[in-house]
Each structure stands twice: as structure tokens, then as C-alpha cells.
Amino acid sequence: MKLHLHEFGERNVIRRCENGTITINEQTYSDSVVVTPGRVIDDWRPDSIEELTADDLGSVAQLGVELVILGTGARQVFPPAHILEPLITASIGIEIMDSGAAARTYNIVASEGRDVAAAILLD
């Protein structure tokens, strides 16, 4: 799906998320990423929800955002609670959805000026 937004300023915008790729601004990625309004982490380790660990979310928690939107791939899959523990312990909100919905939600929340990270799995 192609995503369109009006003016987004200097913040990172997810333009497209489909077919195992994600386009942030004008750059297309084919591996999992973490995106915040000011930063793109394109070497995030897990390739799929099955590979996601607490350590992976611990690295996201260290970004110090108020909300993490976890895109779990083509389908919404809820990870076990122990994997979410780093975010819970840090009092960071978490929303879990399929990656397309996570991309759309990230754009809306970031456009509101909120401190958000989208952790997007593409498998």
C-alpha cells in the first residue's frame, strides 16, 4: 500500500510498506527497521516475529520514546509477555499490529509531534 501525507516537516515519513519492503522518505529497505521521527535504524536484528527477543525490544526501549508501535509482518501476532518486558519495565506504551497498519499509525502519531518509534518486521 502506498501512504500519502501532507507536510511532515523534517520528520521521517513511511511512504510505503508492502511486499517485504518499506520506504522511509525516499529510501527503500528490505530488512526490519526501527524508525523514529528523527532517526532510522536499518540494522535491527530480527527478520521475523519468530526471531524477536526481549533483547531486540530492549534496544528499542533504550531510545527513550513514549510509545513503540510493533509491526509484526503481514499478520498481527502478539509476542509472549516476557519478550515485551523491556518496554513494560521502562513504562513505554506498546501497540502491536501488522506492519502495514503500524506504518500508517506511526505516520499519524509522529505527525502529532509525539515521541514514537515504529519497529517494523517485514517477514
Secondary structure letter of residue 80 according to DSSP: P
- Residues contacting 19, CB < 8 A, separation 6+: none
Nearest to 106 by CA among 33, 42, 56, 27: 33
For the chain, 123 residues long, the average pLDDT of each consecutive 10-residue run is: 54 94 97 97 95 98 98 96 97 98 98 97 90
CA distance 51 to 34: 15
Would you state the pLDDT for residue 88? 97
Would you state the pLDDT for residue 8? 52
Name the strands in the sheet holding 27-29, side by side, starting at the edge strand that comes first in the sequence: 14-18, 21-24, 27-29
Would you state the pLDDT for residue 6? 47
Secondary structure letter of residue 31 according to DSSP: S
pTM of the model: 0.91
